[in-house]
Structure 1
Amino acid sequence: MNRMNLGLFYEACAAPDCRRRGKDLFKCGACLLVHYCGPEHQRAHRPAHKTSCLLVKQARAAAAEAEAELRARPGDDYAPAGVLDESGGALGLFWGRFPATRPYMQALHDHMTACLNLRTGEAVEAALARALEMLRLCRGDNLGVRSQVPVLYLRLGRDQEAFDFLKWYAVKGTSADYDWSDMSQPFLDLTGEDALEDLSKPFRKVKDLSFLASVTLVKTRLMLDLVALSAHVDEMEKKKAEGGEEAKAEGGGDGDDRPTKLSYEEKMEWVREEALSDIVLARRDIVDRDDYAPLIQDVTGQVARLYQLTEHHNKHYWPALGHPENYSHALPEAYTWGSKQETVLAFRQTWYAWAECNPALETVRQFAEWTSNAS
């Protein structure tokens, strides 16, 4: 897909007002997550970048040191020998079962957090890699990184993977039969799930506000892509038809036999350049159809239901997107479901995913206005 549609910058010079992008840029040698087109722009950006850069560099070094210390440990009750190897029998059971793994897990979390101080695609990818590694090591997720994973997928335009992740937790992760301590059980094993599926019902069991916001964003972006694709196809087919009529009038014959319907490849040209996410990109059955109206109606209904479900869980979340300045506080130490403190936490986790996709943000803000006016 076209990464230009994302609010993140990939392979782009980080200097203010510089528009250079491409493979010929070089990375900051310390954080490895920011690009520059030349030494002059790197020096110009250094005052703004220095603090975040140092945090990432230090956190990455601390994670490497913590890993080395963990690998060097002899086997004992706090962690078996070869704890980071498949043969060690500890993978998936870090933190809770083996306390000696906690400094390493905390170091991974600190590195992930440091990366997210930088708003580049490379930084978000690095944070996502750390989060997924932490879930692989600790299925119980004592540090709560699962709430951020779908958001990071969404910031990268990887909506299909966000949907798969969210569906797994909504369907399998909420099952009373799932044994989190049994490493033979499948974990996060859903791939390529049907993103048109209505998840409103399974998400009634989900208590994670960030999950609710994320699945609403997945569906909102899908809805916007369908609406925009439909409008594009209608416009282009109208132009084709008008061109045929003009050719017919000029030729004085029976008319132009050129097809007026857009081909699949013609539709895909728009999808590759304009789509907000990768879901439609991979679905020929969605793109190559004559009438998008039923799909648009169905997905729009899903967005409305998920919006209402999120509002029912926490009435503060949607208004927060309209007033972000009121919710960018320090993370709360504790919260209860439905509280403003819960919204502060979820806002901090999800805000950039909304802000980096302005059409989706404006859509839910309109929902908020309609809801407020209706009440």
Structure 2
Amino acid sequence: MTTPLQSRCEFPSCDKFENLQACEYCQYVFYCSREHRRSHLSQHKETCTELATACSRYRAEYRKLKRFSGNRKCPSQPFKNAIGRFTEFHETQDYRNAKRTVVEVLLKAGTKEALEACVEHGLEMHRLCWNGASVWLRNQTPLYMIMLGRDQDAYDFSKWLFMDDEDRDIYSKDAIHYSRRDLEDLVPFNLVNGTLDSEIWESVQDPFEPLDFIRKKIPNEYYCLSMILIKIMLLQDMKDLENMRVLEKLPVLQKNQEIFDLIQDQIPSTEVFRRDTALRTLDKEDFDDLRDLLDQHINRLFVIIGGDRFHFWTAMLKRGGPEYRPSDEAWYKMFEKLPGASQVIQSRLEMARQGDQRLLKFCDCSYQKYQRGEISKGFVSCNAQRCFFGRKMESYWIG
């Protein structure tokens, strides 16, 4: 069960959430009193110094770029006149580097306010440009939303990113420069509150809908990672809700309503189930169908990620080796922290080793398509580099 982050005193043995004061230097870590701040200074000092330095540099680069008068290549006031082309200009590089450094240090702080700032930085950079140096922040933004307990926003944003990638392909075929498209069509996210605010999205999206919007053969793996995290969270909520139905029948809890209410307040944990009360009252048959649907979605996303970056899952579980990437550490930690996530991945790895058809049916290699009857003639092979299942078959021609 995941719990959305709350502002709290950073002193280890303190659990106060009210009347907090921000650290006067970094402004992203909070304490209930000066005594607790002084006591925690030795632990917080390194991160505090990094945060203060990074934020100071970022503000200086922002002011410098805002006053930029323009030259033969880069227009003046890039924040207004270079939207969509921001990363094309060398003059914006120092600002972009400063922003990335701030986000990396904010992640170390890990507080609610720090993560909210990460989301704002990600959305702002995405507003300014949709490719190049902004890609890292764009890919990470759904993860920051999930860490904040904003799973519905993370789903909406991830789905839109999938569809936006498809639009990019369509526009590139028509020889229209992607980064010069209309801003409102490209960025339906409201930068003030981080929610979708556009005619493109008339309402919140359904996390249980078919994954038909994933049309690319090899989509962006980070969008898939955010999707699979959300699906695992929903699956965990369904298990917790089923357990609650059993618990509410126990005579002990019926007599101790206060204890039962305390347990019930924590379930469900996702924004999706908390918002939609109808989901919580489904009968057992519909509940089982919904759970099977989530399992299928997880299987497909698992194979997509495995096919594109087959090393990701093993690197995540081992937290080391030649395939380990420090830039993915936040993703590794989220899978580790999320209840049941590691077990879900381990079970899928075992299914892959056994050649389970529930996974194989999502494999796009030509040999699996032949096995499924989707290819009746032509060139058939199993590419061990791209196929997650790594079956080294002889290539041959079917007449």
TM-score category (smaller protein): 0.7 to 0.9
Paired amino acid for 1:186: D
Q: Residue 115 of structure 1: CA displacement? A: 0.7
Q: Distance in 2 between matches of 1:269 and 1:294?
A: 29
Q: Distance in 1 between matches of 2:293 and 2:268?
A: 19
Matches within 5 A, 1:302-313: 302-313=297-308
Gaps of 5+ in 2: 172-177, 189-200, 255-259, 357-399
CA contact (8 A) 1:5 1:274 kept: no
Paired amino acid for 1:288: T
Fraction of identical pairs, as percent? 22
Q: Residue 134 of structure 1: CA displacement? A: 0.9
For 1:82-117, what per-residue CA distance to the aligned partner results, in whole angstroms no more than 9, with x for missing partners? 332xxx432232121x33222222221221111111
For 1:25-74, what per-residue CA distance to the aligned partner results, in whole angstroms no more than 9, with x for missing partners? 22211111112232232222222211111111111111111111112222
The verdict on how the C-alpha distance between 1:180 and 1:9 changes in structure 2, with shifts beyond 3 A counting, is same
Alignment correspondent of 2:388: none
The answer to whether structure 1 residue 231 and structure 2 residue 231 are counterparts is no
Alignment correspondent of 1:348: 329
More relative contact order, 1 or 2 (CA 8 Å, 6+ apart): 1
Residue of 105, 112, 119 corresponding to 1:121: 112
The answer to whether structure 1 residue 283 and structure 2 residue 264 are counterparts is no
The verdict on how the C-alpha distance between 1:206 and 1:26 changes in structure 2, with shifts beyond 3 A counting, is farther
CA contact (8 A) 2:5 2:149 kept: no
Alignment correspondent of 1:319: 314
The answer to whether structure 1 residue 366 and structure 2 residue 361 are counterparts is no
The verdict on how the C-alpha distance between 1:268 and 1:218 changes in structure 2, with shifts beyond 3 A counting, is farther
The verdict on how the C-alpha distance between 1:268 and 1:354 changes in structure 2, with shifts beyond 3 A counting, is farther
Q: Distance in 2 between matches of 1:200 and 1:220?
A: 19
Partner SS, residue 165 of structure 2: coil
CA contact (8 A) 1:26 1:35 kept: yes
The verdict on how the C-alpha distance between 1:183 and 1:77 changes in structure 2, with shifts beyond 3 A counting, is farther
CA contact (8 A) 1:94 1:137 kept: yes
Q: Distance in 1 between matches of 2:78 and 2:272?
A: 38
Alignment correspondent of 1:157: 149
CA contact (8 A) 1:268 1:281 kept: no
The answer to whether structure 1 residue 107 and structure 2 residue 98 are counterparts is yes
CA contact (8 A) 1:163 1:215 kept: yes
CA contact (8 A) 1:160 1:279 kept: yes
Q: Distance in 2 between matches of 1:150 and 1:350?
A: 11
Alignment correspondent of 1:202: 214
CA-atom RMSD in angstroms:
2.9
TM-score normalised by structure 2 residue count: 0.73
The verdict on how the C-alpha distance between 1:167 and 1:41 changes in structure 2, with shifts beyond 3 A counting, is same
The answer to whether structure 1 residue 50 and structure 2 residue 36 are counterparts is no
Residue of 244, 256, 267 corresponding to 1:274: 267
Alignment correspondent of 1:193: 205
Q: Distance in 1 between matches of 2:120 and 2:187?
A: 15
For 1:203-250, what per-residue CA distance to the aligned partner results, in whole angstroms no more than 9, with x for missing partners? 6544433222221111111111122213313442x459x98xxxxxxx
Residue of 112, 122, 127 corresponding to 1:131: 122
Q: Distance in 1 between matches of 2:53 and 2:84?
A: 26
For 1:349-373, what per-residue CA distance to the aligned partner results, in whole angstroms no more than 9, with x for missing partners? 4123223323323332333344446
With 64-73 and 306-315 compared, the bigger mean Cα shift is at 306-315
Gaps of 5+ in 1: 244-266, 328-339
Q: Residue 201 of structure 1: CA displacement? A: 6.6
